[in-house]
Amino acid sequence: MDYNIAQKKVKDLKSFYKNCMCFAIVASIILIRNFVKYAETDHSFRGSIVLAVWGIILTIKAIKLFFLNADWENKILQEELNKEKRPINF
């Protein structure tokens, strides 16, 4: 693996984990605030739209980072290059 590719992957992982940590902190603050403020009234979750959108964004980033990474692209590219090197038999 090329150093620049590895460096970018590590940077992306670091960014993803920071976003997850921030999400957990903000979600905890919102949950605690809602529990304290609305404990005796309704138990509906306020702030859920923000957390839902943030969660969707994190899910998309996770899929891109862990499942749609460059490894499979490199593998398919290498297979295509190997196909072109083989002689065509009719």
Q: Given a cut of 70, is residue 42 above it in pLDDT? A: no
Position 85 scores a pLDDT of: 66
Domain ranges of the chain: 3-85
Q: Given a cut of 70, is residue 32 above it in pLDDT? A: yes
Q: Given a cut of 80, is residue 8 above it in pLDDT? A: yes
Could you tell me how many helices (H) and strands (E) the chain has, helices first? 3, 0
Once rounded to an integer, what is the mean pLDDT over residues 50-73? Answer: 84
Q: Given a cut of 90, is residue 60 above it in pLDDT? A: yes
pLDDT confidence bin for 30, thresholds 50/70/90? confident
Length of the chain: 90
CB contact burial 6-34 (16+ within 10 A = b; e otherwise): eeeeeeeeeebeeeeeeeeeebeebeeeb
Helix (H) or strand (E) holding 22: helix 3-37
What single DSSP character describes residue 38?
A: T
Position 6 scores a pLDDT of: 75
Percent share of the chain, pLDDT over 90: 26
